[in-house]
Amino acid sequence: MKAIKFNFLLGEKTKDYFGPIKIISETNTSIYARRATNNRIYVTVRLYNKTDEFKEKIKILFARILSYILFYKKIVLMYEKESLKYEESASVLYERLIDLDYKNIYYVIDKNSPHVSNIKKKYKKNIIYKSTFKHYLYFFLADTFIGSETISHSIDLRVANRFIFKKIVEKKYQLVFLQHGVTYMISLASDYRKSFRKGQSMPENTKIIVSSELESRHFIEHGNYNKEDLYITGMPKFDRNIKYKNADKIIVMPTWRPWEYNEIRTNFKNTGYYKMLISILNSIPDNLKEKLIVLPHPLFMEAIKDSDFPIEVPLYKSYDELLREADLLITDYSSIAFDAFYRGSKVIFWWQDIEECMNNYGGYLMLNEKNRFGDICYNSEQLRSVIYKNYKRKQNLEYVKNYRKIVEFNDNKNTDRLIKMLDEDNIIKKRYNSNK
């Protein structure tokens, strides 16, 4: 028998998905029981969310009630990773829409984010600060979400509030998925990427921004998407990608290891991620070590901060700003490689643990020896050699050719191409622009 509860305040039946939340402030952790759709009970332990607090639950409840009264308001809500950033495609698109006088376009960001200071006065009028009453209200009112991540990043990750959870899982909204990076690294056929396949975590009518016919085919063949689900426009953030003329930094930025997430929080030095970083650091020639910048995946930043990592890590600097200084990027399977190469930096791929990682990802790489756009290293000796080969040199023309098959556009018009397609599909045209 399913547990069904009638909510008299909202006049609707709701499944009671979540039990009481216990917040452990000493470890910044929340614990709660969760009942899944298969009626199984799970105990969840995760990082604390603002929406776990009792006072936030009251704000969310009243925001939900008010949203029923203001149902006629049509809102487009834009956001980036964890509502903390203002440097990816969503912020670039947001500013362009404001410049073109589109209405009812709003951008969510945490007031304490260091990126807030980068927002010009002209664009602050439609900024909504995370966890305010207005944020909760506009989240419920929004019928269109445009972001570089899935919708959870517009509110809270792994949210345990029943009203927010219901809005997310019912998928009665339009999502325009700008992507955090080009999806042509770890295949969508991989177990790890299955949530990004059609009909999984995103609504059926989701529109996805891609950078080429090749990337589009990847989504169609391995993600079960249709051609009309994909906008081949290029990523808006690439319109602003630049590299300083005097760029001389060597940036190390591997992707995350989801299977090591819990261990990284408790025993960082014992993880493969930490050992990989140390191997790479030890391979950097001594005369270039002063040029080195290590940028761990954002989810691992806290672990790095609390460890005795051998070099200083820029915890709060913008990735975009740091990449402008990069002459050379060393990564493993991160889509940041596409970002760096677009700017004119060289890329080196560290694939020493490729077999282990692909086993854990449950899949394979789309990149290989034939279509790569950078040198591949499988050990420290190779890495040291190719660093000398690439540092302060021009991009290999064969690599440029390979790259242009995956990222077709380099005319800085990706944002305008995307707006044109959103207009044509009436996603923002008639409802949101007062001049049309």
Amino acid letter, 292: L
**Token pair 């020896």 is at which residue?**
369
Q: Is the distance from CB of 135 to CB of 161 less than 8 angstroms?
A: no
- From the list 180, 184, 216, the residue with the least C-alpha distance to 90 is 180
Q: Is the distance from CB of 309 to CB of 300 less than 8 angstroms?
A: no
Q: What's the full length of the chain, in residues?
A: 436
Amino acid letter, 106: Y
Q: Is the distance from CB of 309 to CB of 315 less than 8 angstroms?
A: no
Q: Is the distance from CB of 162 to CB of 16 less than 8 angstroms?
A: yes
Q: Which pLDDT score is estimated for 435?
A: 47
Spell out where 275-422 has E strands: 292-294, 326-331, 346-350, 375-377
Q: How far is residue 3 from each of residues 6, 164, 166, 241, 364, measured CA to CA in Å?
A: 10, 19, 15, 51, 41
Element (H, E) at 272: helix 272-283
Q: Look up residue 124 and give its two tokens.
A: 């602050």
355 Rama sector, left if φ>0, alpha if ψ -120 to 50, beta otherwise: alpha
- From the list 93, 54, 60, the residue with the least C-alpha distance to 77 is 93
Q: Which pLDDT score is estimated for 4?
A: 39
Q: Which pLDDT score is estimated for 15?
A: 56
* Cα-based angle 380, 339, 374 (whole degrees, multiple of 5): 40
3-state secondary structure of 190: coil
Q: How far is Cα 242 from Cα 344, in angstroms, rounded to an integer?
A: 8
Q: How far is Cα 237 from Cα 339, in angstroms, rounded to an integer?
A: 9
Q: Which pLDDT score is estimated for 10?
A: 42
Which domains, ranges and CATH numbers included, belong to the chain? Answer: 1-48 (no CATH), 51-234 (3.40.50.11820), 243-406 (3.40.50.12580)
Q: Is the distance from CB of 329 to CB of 340 less than 8 angstroms?
A: yes
Pairing between β-strand 41-47 and β-strand 29-35 as defined by DSSP bridges? antiparallel
Which are the contacts of 191, defined by CB distance < 8 A and separation ≥ 6?
361, 362, 363
Instruction: State the helix-helix crossing angle for 54-69 and 133-141, rounded to 10 degrees.
Output: 40
**Residue 287, phi then psi, degrees to nearest 5:** -75, -5
Amino acid letter, 406: I
3-state secondary structure 80-143: CHHHCCCCCHHHHHHHHHHHCCECCEEEEECCCCHHHHHCCHHHHCCEEECCCHHHHHHHHHEE
What is the Cβ-side half-sphere exposure of residue 161, based on CA atoms within 13 angstroms?
26
Task: Return the DSSP state at 433.
Answer: B
Q: Which pLDDT score is estimated for 431?
A: 54
**Token pair 């409802």 is at which residue?**
431
Task: Return the DSSP state at 204.
Answer: T
Q: How far is Cα 307 from Cα 290, in angstroms, rounded to an integer?
A: 21
Q: Look up residue 223 and give its two tokens.
A: 């993600």
**Per-residue tens of pLDDT for the chain, all 436 residues:** 344 343 434 444 445 568 889 999 888 889 998 887 677 888 888 888 999 999 999 999 999 999 999 999 999 999 999 999 999 999 999 999 999 999 899 999 999 999 999 999 999 999 999 999 999 999 999 999 999 999 999 999 999 999 999 999 999 999 999 999 999 999 999 998 998 999 898 999 999 999 999 999 999 999 999 999 999 999 999 999 999 999 999 999 999 888 887 787 778 888 898 899 999 999 999 999 999 999 887 767 777 776 778 777 786 678 899 999 999 999 999 999 999 999 999 999 999 999 999 999 999 999 999 999 999 999 999 999 999 999 999 999 999 999 999 999 999 999 999 999 999 999 996 455 554 4
Q: 10 Å Cβ neighbour count for 339?
A: 26
Q: Which pLDDT score is estimated for 402?
A: 98
Q: Which pLDDT score is estimated for 432?
A: 56
